[in-house]
């Protein structure tokens, strides 16, 4: 498709320029873009209103309209997000190691930008400025493909960013938006291997599955989370209740929220009524197995599917196990390998859980809600990887770089 | 497909066991397998003969039959390869960093096995033992899908390895071979996301393209190489000739061989006749642009396609440029981002080439033939990645690991 080839080829050219732009110029660009968003906030709000009116006409759910909506405060937050990125250390250019080989070759490994990053996302317009900021800081050109619901808002934001870059004498194609939101254009984008180095989908499970299934461009799979809290026989009950409450209810619709409880049978009689009481007070329904229901008859029955569900709602599953081995087996079978936590005071159980659970983040005595770039101290986050290649867990600036070997010789040839 | 589901589910189970096997037991397993290959060499040779006879009947080319053929020496090399892997440091278990957050959480990043690695390869039976050794050392279960030409040999090698593992009390499903070599089984394997964490194709450009296009499992793309040597206006001619000779002719059929020359116009008149003479003495044909032909009329004409070709043969393309900028632009456009070299005595040109060439390995004054796990000091190599995600360039043991975050808390919840 000529339309996408043009976008890809312009992005590749911009990436070449960004690769040698340097930290000072990149930070200068971020500052100008940050200011331009504030200066042009009326234009953004006007275009956002067009999207919102259309969404209301189409009968969009209130919670989704909220995600789509911007106001002065949210635009200021977008703008401040870019200023925050200026303050982060730029990983590009660092030589991680440099060693001399017996033949005298000096072989170094240097961090460099990925090149061109594609982002496919849904209706949150704040992703537009966020993703640009992180990609630009790491010297990558970004091609954005947002949802049709937010198209007017996205066009406004991208127009402002490109104008600010151009005025700063920086390649405006550092950011491009695919304005044609037809599904087939997105599918074609997923096969643009010649121009796109990495594709990062950000959105619900359906979007992510579609990208994984259709893309020939390498994908970083982000985020569905069926996160477990396992309450061991040696758990502190108060700590367990506080952590479960926090992990389940502090924010319902996020990938690091707890969706599944696992409780050791030895403490079931005492603990399960307490956790029922705590969660019921917040209108959270527990769906448990027969043993859990035997202890507390207000627990609803769980089906096999419940153990694999990411509810993102006021529901949690509960499974009773007879040993830490059974707990680990259950979790490794049903988890999406995002974040899992054990509550225990037993040293060996804590270490066993850390060693044997296969997930991006494995916790002892803490809430799963901490799996987040900000909470991990990365300053910003482009998403949470649930795959094992390249980056796992919260992805900060480093995940937007690759390495290349730089070799210094003086005439070496291979014997 | 039930057949593959079974293989996948057994591999997943073996991976769980390998994850906690420990370095001593893994090295013990490698030693026993290494010995078993020698003890059973007659069985392997017998099965190999069956494959060779069939290949001859089918009229296979001599060079391909050579790749397929084993003899005592080659089996001893396979066996020794496993012993060498014992000597390498095991990256698994290393905690790369551990930091405390303001809320007291200790967050560490630990190297762990990928899990289940799939390898799709062609007719080299040595890959079977090699790939097993590297995956096993890093605690990964491996599922192999070799070519139909080598099927009897592969079955023999895998049978011996599994038997040795079983006798050592180690999960024999650490290695499994897909014995059904139908193309549709391979395609199905590429979509086994539930059981396979990473797929590594090893073979020709056609195989790699097919895996990239059909796989939903994350792929590490390995190796086609259209590698360039750029002879700068400030090059030492003798050094340039030696490096070009080595990079082109030391071994023709490898991905780090030089396929394309780029020469600065200022030295064209003097250098091009010399390089013609040097390569012609080894029967290497040069296909050049008009300017090169104007200097040396024995140079054949190059078409646009020639600049993008990986010949793997006694042919090389030649392009004359007027500046280092033009050289870099030409190389970045036509290269497969594998290995590129500049020959120069100019400091600024050397640094510019290092900074602006987008490739896995960028050389100053050395042969591209060094892009290799052994030459880089990794001790062994599972392939050479030409993509930017996860691993770039020669992949040693580290490329077969991922990381997980291990978090030590004492009741932290998110505010």
Contacts of A20 in chain B (CB under 8 A): 355-356
Residue of A335, A354, A343 lying closest to A227 (CA atoms)? A335
Name residues 215-244 of chain B within 8 A of A (Cβ): 216, 218-221, 236, 239, 242-243
B363 vs chain A: nearest CA distance in angstroms?
A: 5
Using a CB-CB cut-off of 8 Å, the residues of chain A touching B247 are 413
Residue B253: per-residue pLDDT? 86
Q: Which two tokens stand for residue B410?
A: 């004492």
Confidence of residue A222 (pLDDT cuts 50, 70, 90): confident
Contact B213 A218 (CB under 8 A): no
Q: Do A365 and B408 touch (CB under 8 A)?
A: yes
Q: List, as ranges, residues 298-317 from A with C-beta within 8 Å of B.
A: none
pLDDT at B222: 86
Count other C-beta atoms under 10 Å from residue B136's C-beta: 27
From A355, A388, A404, residue closest to B392, measured CB to CB: A404
* B365 → closest Cβ in A243, A393, A411: A411
Percent over 70 (pLDDT), chain A: 100
Instruction: Tell me the pLDDT of chain B averaged across its residues.
Output: 96
- Nearest neighbour of A115 by CB, restricted to B388, B393, B413: B388
The yes-or-no verdict on residue A123 having pLDDT over 80 is: no
pLDDT of residue B63: 82
How large is the average pLDDT for residues A136-164? 97
Q: Angle A128-A130-A133 (CA atoms, 0-180°, nearest 5)?
A: 110
Angstroms from A213 CA to nearest CA on chain B: 5
Specify the pLDDT at position B107: 98
Interatomic CA distance for residues A412 and B74, integer angstroms? 29
State residue A276's pLDDT score.
98
Nearest CB partner across the interface for A355, out of B20, B354, B377: B20
pLDDT tens digits along B284-321: 999 999 999 999 999 999 999 999 999 999 999 999 99
Q: What is the pLDDT of residues B333-371, one digit of tens each?
A: 999 999 999 999 999 999 999 999 999 999 999 999 999
Q: What sign results for the dihedral spanned by CA atoms B368, B370, B373, B377?
A: negative
Q: What are the phi and psi torsion angles at B72 (to 5°)?
A: -55, -45
| pLDDT of B35 strictly over 90 | yes
Strand partners, B342: B230, B364
- Contact: B193, A216; criterion CB under 8 Å: no
* Residue A205: band (very low, low, confident or very high) from pLDDT cuts 50, 70, 90: confident
B342 touches chain A (CB under 8 A): no
Does the pLDDT value for residue A223 go beyond 80?
A: no
Mean pLDDT score, B214-230 = 92
Burial of B269 (0-12, 13-18, 19+ CB in 10 A): exposed
Size of interface A-B (CB pairs under 8 A): 195
- The verdict on A333 touching B (C-beta cutoff 8 Å) is no
Nearest to B82 by CA among B29, B42, B118: B29
Instruction: Over range B192-204, report the average pLDDT.
Output: 93
Higher pLDDT, A280 or A62: A280
Q: Tokens at residue A117, please? A: 């990053």
| Nearest alpha carbon to residue B404 among A335, A198, A321, A201 | A335
Residue B101 at interface with chain A, using a CB cutoff of 8 Å: yes
**pLDDT score recorded for residue A62:** 87
Find the closest chain B residue to A200 by CA distance: B389
Q: Which residue in B has a C-alpha nearest to residue A391's C-alpha?
A: B390
Is residue A347's pLDDT more than 90?
Answer: yes
Contacting residues of A for B390, CB less than 8 Å apart: 389-390
Q: What is the pLDDT averaged over residues A184-188?
A: 94
Chain B residues with CB-CB distance to A362 below 8 A: 404-407
pLDDT in tens, B164-190: 999 999 999 999 999 999 999 999 999
- Chain A residues in contact with B222 by the CB 8 A cut-off are none
Does A407 contact chain B (CB < 8 Å)? Answer: yes
Q: Are strands B401-412 and B106-113 parallel, antiparallel or unpaired?
A: antiparallel
Q: Would you call A360 and B410 a contact, using CB atoms and an 8 Å cutoff?
A: no
Reported confidence tier of residue B224, pLDDT bands at 50, 70, 90: confident
Contact B404 A361 (CB under 8 A): yes
Ordered by where they begin, the domains of chain B are 2-221+387-408 (3.40.605.10), 227-370 (3.40.309.10)
**pLDDT value of position B62:** 87
Work out the pLDDT band at A124, boundaries 50, 70, 90.
confident
Q: Say yes or no to pLDDT of A328 above 90.
A: yes
Q: Give CA A400 to chain center in angstroms.
A: 12
The DSSP bridge partners found for residue B95 are: B110
Q: What pLDDT does residue A380 have?
A: 82
Interface of A with B in 15-74 (CB under 8 A): 16, 19-20
User: With contact defined as beta carbons under 8 Å apart, do B259 and B225 qualify?
Assistant: yes
Predicted local distance difference test score (pLDDT) of residue A224: 84
pLDDT in tens, A9-21: 999 999 999 999 9
B239 neighbourhood in chain A, CB within 8 Å: 411
């Amino acid at each position: 498709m000529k339309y996408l080839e043009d976008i890809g080829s312009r992005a590749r050219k911009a990436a070449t320029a960004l690769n040698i732009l340097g930290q000072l110029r990149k930070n200068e660009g971020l500052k100008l873009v940050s200011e331009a968003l504030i200066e042009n906030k009326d234009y953004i709000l006007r275009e956002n209103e067009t999207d919102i009116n259309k969404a209301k006409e189409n009968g969009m759910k209130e919670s989704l309209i909220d995600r789509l909506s911007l106001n002065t405060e949210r635009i200021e937050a977008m703008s401040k997000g870019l200023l925050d990125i200026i303050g982060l250390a730029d990983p590009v250019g660092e030589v991680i190691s440099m060693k001399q080989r017996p033949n005298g070759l000096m072989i170094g490994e240097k961090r460099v930008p990925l090149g061109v990053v594609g982002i496919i996302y849904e209706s949150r317009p704040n992703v537009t400025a966020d993703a640009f900021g992180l990609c630009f800081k790491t010297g990558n050109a970004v091609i954005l493909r947002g949802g049709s619901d937010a198209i007017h808002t996205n066009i406004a934001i991208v127009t402002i960013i490109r104008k600010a870059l151009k005025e700063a004498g920086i390649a405006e194609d550092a950011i491009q938006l695919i304005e044609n939101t037809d599904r087939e254009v997105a599918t074609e984008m997923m096969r643009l291997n010649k121009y796109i180095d990495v594709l990062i989908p950000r959105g619900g499970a359906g979007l992510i599955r579609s990208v994984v299934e259709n893309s020939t461009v390498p994908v970083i799979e982000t985020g569905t989370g069926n996160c477990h809290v396992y309450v061991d026989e040696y758990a502190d009950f108060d700590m367990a209740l506080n952590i479960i409450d926090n992990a389940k209810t502090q924010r319902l619709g996020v990938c690091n929220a707890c969706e599944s409880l696992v409780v050791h049978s030895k403490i079931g009689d005492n603990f399960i009524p307490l956790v029922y009481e705590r969660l019921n007070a917040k209108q959270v329904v527990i769906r448990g197995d027969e043993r859990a229901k035997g202890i507390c008859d207000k627990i609803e029955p769980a089906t096999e599917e419940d153990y694999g569900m990411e509810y993102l709602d006021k529901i949690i599953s509960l499974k009773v196990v007879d040993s830490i081995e059974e707990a680990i087996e259950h979790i490794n079978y049903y988890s999406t390998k995002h974040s899992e936590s054990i509550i225990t005071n037993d040293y060996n159980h804590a270490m066993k859980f850390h060693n044997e659970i296969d997930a991006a983040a494995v916790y002892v005595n803490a809430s799963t809600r901490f799996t987040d770039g900000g909470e991990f101290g990365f300053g910003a986050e482009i998403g949470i990887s649930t795959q094992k290649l390249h980056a796992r867990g919260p992805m900060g600036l480093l995940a937007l770089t690759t390495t290349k070997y730089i070799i210094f010789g003086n005439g070496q040839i291979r014997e």
